Structure 1
Amino acid sequence: MQNLYSSGLALCALFLLALGKPPPREREGKLMGNGVHVQGLGKSGKLRIGRKQSLENDSNAMTIDFDSIQEVDGRGAPVSGQGPRRHRFNTFANQEFNITGPTNVTVYGLQATRIAFESVLSTGGELALQVFIFREEGNVTIDDEVTPVKPGTVKFNILLSNWTFCGESGGVNCRGAIGRYLDVTLRILGRKPPKRRTQPPRPPPGRGPKNHNREREFEMGGNVTISFSKKVFIDNMEQSEDMPGDFPVYESRGGNQLFHFRFRRFNTSIMYDPVVNTDDAEVLSSPNTGTHLVAPTVLAMLVACILQLLR
């Protein structure tokens, strides 16, 4: 009987120690502003954007992560080099990102808060993701494209630098192939499959840009939209140019919602920045799966341990 009592005490002690020690958490960076929450993972660089502090329990939250980066030739066919620099990168699950911020900044003349994720790829290139939450209303203007933003609008920049292309001056030997473009694919999951917005909502009298192009804006469900510019900044970051052909391109493949971007060959770097808008008009509750079972169970075990210790 004494042995059973001692064993019970030992189990209670182990349980209380485990209860007091939180499980290890993955490194993450967080932003919050005007009721919008952004979470970025230090491993993989995956982003979650929504209106609940616990984004895992937000059924309207949108998830954005990198699917692949591939160098292609003038016909769009993949090119590949020899050795460790394969001129493609298609696995981000274990990619480590350094996190800096949050920091208050001015971007496109508007006040915002920023957090940054930076990583060195095994291909030799460098990838950075800067995420902003705007704190004031205004317009983001890139040449002839105008995108309205408001407090809580999220903008994220994709920056690629120091990529060594195949062939030509300064390039590497890739069995005679010449890399002309870099294709970047994002996997984006919303409450619903992306639906292209064809008609802009009517702006209030005297407000709203007249040349706001909605053909690359998608509704993601849960009153979340994402807008993709055709403009990309190359090298000097002061002048933009259009992506070639019909890019950016949306594709549904194997249950994945993929958005493809094509950037021409660059010397130093490229920068591309989509815009995400959320609206709290449609707030749907999410079930906290397991919460109602786990909490009473833990409480019952805690009470049992206390009674055991008081015997």
Structure 2
Amino acid sequence: MSRAEIDAAMQRLRAQPGFLLETPLWKLPASALGVPGGEVWLKLEQLQVAGSFKARGMMNRLLANPIPASGVIVASGGNAGIATAAAAKALGVKCEVFVPTISSPAKQARLRELGAEVVVTGAAYSEALQACLARQQQTGALLTHAYDQPEVVAGAGTLALEIEAQGGVPDSVLVSVGGGGLIAGIADWFGPRARVVALEPELAPTLFRARQAGEPVDVAVSGIAADSLGAKRIGAIAWELTQRHVKDALLLPDDAIRQAQLTLWRQFKLAVEPAAALGLAALQSGAYRPRADEKVCLVLCGANMDPATLS
């Protein structure tokens, strides 16, 4: 991975008219959120096509490779599948998505609305992935991985490129981690210029446990954000890049994540899924304590959830 690959991904995405959106970067005084620091930047990626940052990496993967008549195939807790289905629809190709039983009904419904063939199998993402890989061997469809392919990570990195173009380089960026594609791309783009902080739920600690073990290991995954941050092992690309660029890996309890999600809705009418609320949860809970003058960027990475859960 390199910044050049991320830049190339952005050029590729911009050449596909009418797909990728430039999502807003909202700068607020930290006091407006009731948290420490000088300024909080909210990157509103929940407004992206297909409802999450995943649209960047999935479309980049499709544009960078020939697509066979059998189309594309992906395993996902929901967001990567929705993004792949949206990209496939935009390009007029078939799409098959394998999701685990923990995938929310709202995400499954959205997949079907986009024209994807949905296969619900396995109790967790890892089991859906194994079924997906077996099916791909039969059909020869182009496989998009939710987080562990170079084109996917480079696509995710375009989010950091966009942040810099809109507002400059923040002092720190707080990033939710599942399989690690997003933090890998962001950390690769910013490198040492910004402090990139990995955030995970206590019940889905893939990067945290890998650091304890000194290598990627399988972990049990559950909790409020498991349908988005449901990978049981940190991706190989993310492991390499976070080892190089990310010093801090923090864990957050589900109740703090839920409180942050509700704060974003009740105070700012920002409807995000739990995985997108980890940055604010880290600030509200004190897990991450910025300097008094620090510019902290929070990536609100997705909004594919049932709005009824915000009541």
Q: Report the TM-score range of the alignment, normalised by the length of the smaller protein.
A: under 0.3
Q: Which has the higher strand share?
A: 1
Output the TM-score relative to the length of structure 1: 0.26
- Larger of the two Rg values belongs to structure: 1
Q: Which has the higher helix share?
A: 2
Higher relative contact order (Cα pairs below 8 Å, separated by 6+ residues):
2
